[in-house]
């Protein structure tokens, strides 16, 4: 019996194995982890548009990082919000500058540091101007990329280093909610405050000393910063295909139970042809160094040839991993249809895609689908679409993306719905309340198509009574709730039988 130590609601999940001969199949917020030359805190940052990403992280930069391209593809394909975690080397250093005060013999009064490490911080410039209100208050202007008006990023007016001032600069600029997205400051005042300790008036003062570091970047540690986010997440690490990097992250996702990992398929080499490339993709799930066979991860390929968003040159194209576009379709499908609809099929046409790195034969597609690799393919009259809906698990029913993500949504919904019960008297009244709340939640899911069945008896059951809450469990402060749900099954195979008869032809359709 599990020993519970922390008050709260605990969930467990049991999937009843289904015969392999039977074809069985809330929304999440996107998350991206990767390197980016410029800015932003290393903590998860939510952005809701491409323009907001550019304002925080600086756009495509020198085009060597895949993260901005993934975000562009995400928003271009219907994505509505995403958490960004910028990964940096452990020995990277943030740029900084120390400003002196206005005393006759100037002394250090304010240290300004880039909000995250990297050479990008060496392109931050500061102006300090006297405030019209006087009394040692000042205006601070922050520029990124240059020291002229075109590069002005932020301004903080009428602030003071006086700890007792209602416009205290540290409190305002360092605020995680309303403060700077570019810098953090530290008052160096070590004596009684007076107006002479305000920073001296200056223009175009650069930050310096920022480095990108030489140590290997720990993407697992960067991904784990997402643990502070309470939403269910669909995570992509743009262009990362190495199983030694991804498997610990997939294991962490399983432990969390709230993270689903979308993996970019390997990039084809110059020596590949379509068949050899298909074999390489299959090897990601079946080879000697394969990814973990987990229902918390799915692989998509091949890479996409897209209109290059980083240049205005006519006809320019760029080869990109598919994850950003795929997550955009996840987000769009969650909004329009719900998680019970796999993000696949002809209504997932990818925007801005000119071609894929390789097109596969039907035989190669068969092998890729069996291996759990979701192919992006051309569909006549539609464009390039996601044409696979499988996780890396080979087990039924959670080999389907929609099953795993539906369970993730339901578990979070149950957790949220039953928080009220913590510390309530553990008796029949509480059990009835829990049963009622959960039943109402599941009824809503049935009515919106998340659950299968035409009646509640077909769609779900809830047991929370004396049969599973014994005197011993009550004495231990535990409430046991058993919930069963019938999940929707994606029609992965459409079988059409055509026969001939004297009056013409006829067709019958079955799903298997």
> Does 239 share its domain with 363?
yes
Examine the domain organization and report whether 287 and 359 are in the same domain: yes
Beta carbons of 119 and 211 less than 8 angstroms apart = yes
**Of 363, 387, 411, at which residue does a domain stop?**
387
Is there a single domain that holds both residue 186 and residue 152? yes
- pLDDT above 50 (res 494): no
Task: Tell me whether residue 40 is in a domain.
Answer: yes
pTM of the model: 0.86
Distance, CA of 469 to chain centre: 38
Answer yes or no: is pLDDT of 495 > 90: no
Q: Is the peptide bond before 302 cis (omega within 30 degrees of 0)?
A: yes
Q: Are residues 431 and 289 in the same domain?
A: no
397 prior amide bond cis, ω within 30: yes
Q: Which residue, of 387, 413, 438, is where some domain finishes?
A: 387
Read off the DSSP letter of residue 317.
Answer: E
| pLDDT of amino acid 437 | 94
Q: Are residues 66 and 133 in the same domain?
A: no
Average pLDDT over residues 404-425: 92
| Per-residue pLDDT band at 9 (split at 50, 70, 90) | confident
Alpha helix (H) ranges present in 287-345? 323-336
Q: Any idea of the CA torsion for 450, 456, 457, 463, to the nearest 10 degrees?
A: 90
Cα 352 to chain centroid, rounded: 22
Quick check: 119 pLDDT over 60? yes
- Range in 3-7, 366-370, 403-407, 453-457 the model is least confident about: 3-7
Same domain, yes or no: 191 and 249: no
Residue 439's domain comprises 422-485
What is the Cα–Cα distance from 42 to 94, expressed in whole angstroms?
11
Percentage of the residues of the chain whose pLDDT score is greater than 90: 82
Residue 2 has pLDDT above 80, yes or no: no
DSSP 188-201: ---S---GGGSBPP
User: Quick one: average pLDDT of 332-350?
Assistant: 94
Can you tell me the distance from the alpha carbon of 378 to that of 385, in angstroms, rounded to the nearest whole number? Answer: 6
Specify the DSSP element, H or E, that contains 353: strand 353-356
CATH label of the domain that carries residue 337: 3.40.50.11780
Q: Say if 3 falls within a structural domain.
A: no
Same domain, 223 and 251: yes
Q: What is the 3-state secondary structure (H, E, C) of 461-475?
A: EEECCCCCCCHHHHH
Domain membership of residue 245 (yes or no) is yes
Q: What is the pLDDT of residue 26?
A: 53
Same-domain pairing of 181 and 228: no
Q: What CATH number is given to the structural domain containing 160?
A: 2.60.40.4290
Average pLDDT estimate for 374-386 = 96
- pLDDT classification of 491: cutoffs 50, 70, 90: low
What is the predicted pLDDT for the residue at 500?
61
Q: Which two tokens stand for residue 479?
A: 């409430």
pLDDT band for 401, please (50, 70, 90 cuts).
very high
Region for 16 from its dihedrals, namely left if φ exceeds 0, alpha if ψ lies in -120 to 50, beta otherwise:
beta
pLDDT beyond 50 at 508? no
CB atoms within 10 A of CB 50: 18
Interval 45-63 mean pLDDT: 92
Q: How do residues 254-272 score in pLDDT, each as one tens digit? A: 999 999 999 999 999 999 9
**pLDDT at position 512:** 36
The answer on pLDDT for 412 being more than 50 is: yes
In this prediction, residue 62 has a pLDDT band, given cuts at 50, 70 and 90, of confident
* Paired strand residues for 259: 233
**Do 42 and 184 fall within a single domain?**
no
Residue 407 forms part of a structural domain: no
DSSP code for 441: H
Q: Are residues 198 and 335 in the same domain?
A: no
**Per-residue model confidence (pLDDT) at position 15:** 59
Q: Are residues 44 and 141 in the same domain?
A: no
Mean pLDDT of the chain: 90
Q: Indicate the DSSP class of residue 116.
A: S
Reduced to 3 states (helix: H, G, I; strand: E, B; else coil), residue 236 is strand
With 60 as the cut, is the pLDDT of residue 505 above it? no
**H helices within 133-179, ranges in order?**
169-173
Backbone angles phi, psi at 376, to 5 degrees: -100, 120
Q: Is 492 a residue whose pLDDT tops 70?
A: no
Residue 145 lies in a domain: yes
Checking if the pLDDT of 503 tops 70, the result is no
User: For 426, what's the count of Cα atoms within 13 Å in the CB-facing half-sphere?
Assistant: 17
Which of 150, 184, 206 corresponds to the end of one domain? 206
Per-residue confidence (pLDDT) for residue 91, from 0 to 100: 96
Model pLDDT, residue 376: 98
pLDDT of residue 162: 96
Domain assignment present for residue 177? The answer is: yes
Residue 4 in domain = no
The pLDDT tens digits for 22-39 are 222 357 999 999 999 887
- Structurally, how many domains does the chain consist of? 3
Least confident interval from 119-123, 317-321, 337-341: 337-341
Distance of alpha carbon 12 from its chain centroid, rounded? 24
Residue 325 domain flag: yes
Given a cut of 80, whether residue 238 has pLDDT beyond it is yes
Q: Residue written as tokens 């049963």?
A: 435
Indicate whether 331 and 200 sit together in one domain: no
Each residue's pLDDT tens digit, 127-168:
999 999 999 999 999 999 999 999 999 999 999 999 999 999
CA 285, CA 440: separation in Å to the nearest integer? 40
Exposure letters 316-327 (e unless 16+ CB within 10 A, then b): eebebbbbbbbb
């Amino acid at each position: 019996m599990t020993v519970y130590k922390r008050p709260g609601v605990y969930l467990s999940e049991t999937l009843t194995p289904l015969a392999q001969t039977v074809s069985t199949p809330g929304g999440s917020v996107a998350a991206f982890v990767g390197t980016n030359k410029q800015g932003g805190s290393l903590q998860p940052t939510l952005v809701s548009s491409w323009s907001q990403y550019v304002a925080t992280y600086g756009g495509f930069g020198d085009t060597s990082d895949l993260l901005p391209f993934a975000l562009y593809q995400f928003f271009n394909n219907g994505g509505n919000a995403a958490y960004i975690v910028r990964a940096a080397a452990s020995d990277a250093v943030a740029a900084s500058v120390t400003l002196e005060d206005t005393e006759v013999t100037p002394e250090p009064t304010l240290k300004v540091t880039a909000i995250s490490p990297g050479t990008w911080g060496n392109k931050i410039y500061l102006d300090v101007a006297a405030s019209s209100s006087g009394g040692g208050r000042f205006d601070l202007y922050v520029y990124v990329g240059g020291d002229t008006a075109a590069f002005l990023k932020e301004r903080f007016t009428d602030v003071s280093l006086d700890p007792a001032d209602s416009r205290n600069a540290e409190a305002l600029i360092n605020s995680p909610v309303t403060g700077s997205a570019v810098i953090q400051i530290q008052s160096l005042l070590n004596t009684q405050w007076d107006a002479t300790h305000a920073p001296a008036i200056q223009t175009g003062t650069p930050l310096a000393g920022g480095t990108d570091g030489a140590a290997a970047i720990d993407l697992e540690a960067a991904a784990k910063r997402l643990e502070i986010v309470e939403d269910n997440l669909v995570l992509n690490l743009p262009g990362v295909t190495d199983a030694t990097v991804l498997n610990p992250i997939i294991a962490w996702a399983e432990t969390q139970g709230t993270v689903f990992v979308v993996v970019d398929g390997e990039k084809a080499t110059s020596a590949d042809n379509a068949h050899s490339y298909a074999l390489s993709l299959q090897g990601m799930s079946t080879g000697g160094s394969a990814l973990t066979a987990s229902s918390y991860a799915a692989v998509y390929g091949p890479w996409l040839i897209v209109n290059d968003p980083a240049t205005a040159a006519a006809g320019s194209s760029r080869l990109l991993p598919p994850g950003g576009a795929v997550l955009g379709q996840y987000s769009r499908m969650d909004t329009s249809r719900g998680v019970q609809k796999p993000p696949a099929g002809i209504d997932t046409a990818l925007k801005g895609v000119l071609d894929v790195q390789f097109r596969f034969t039907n035989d190669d597609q068969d092998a890729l689908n069996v291996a759990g690799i979701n192919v992006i393919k051309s569909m006549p009259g539609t464009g390039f679409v996601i044409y696979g809906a499988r996780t890396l698990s080979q087990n039924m029913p959670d080999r389907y993306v929609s099953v795993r993500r539906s369970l993730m949504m339901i578990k979070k919904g149950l957790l949220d719905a039953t928080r009220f019960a913590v510390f309530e008297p553990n008796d029949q009244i509480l059990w009835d309340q829990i049963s009622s709340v959960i039943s109402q939640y599941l009824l809503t899911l049935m009515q919106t198509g998340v659950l299968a069945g035409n009646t509640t008896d077909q769609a779900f059951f809830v047991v929370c009574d004396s049969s599973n809450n014994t005197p011993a469990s009550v004495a231990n402060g535990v409430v046991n709730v058993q919930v069963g749900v019938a999940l929707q099954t994606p029609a992965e195979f459409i079988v059409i039988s055509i026969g001939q008869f004297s009056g013409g032809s006829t067709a019958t359709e079955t799903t298997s």
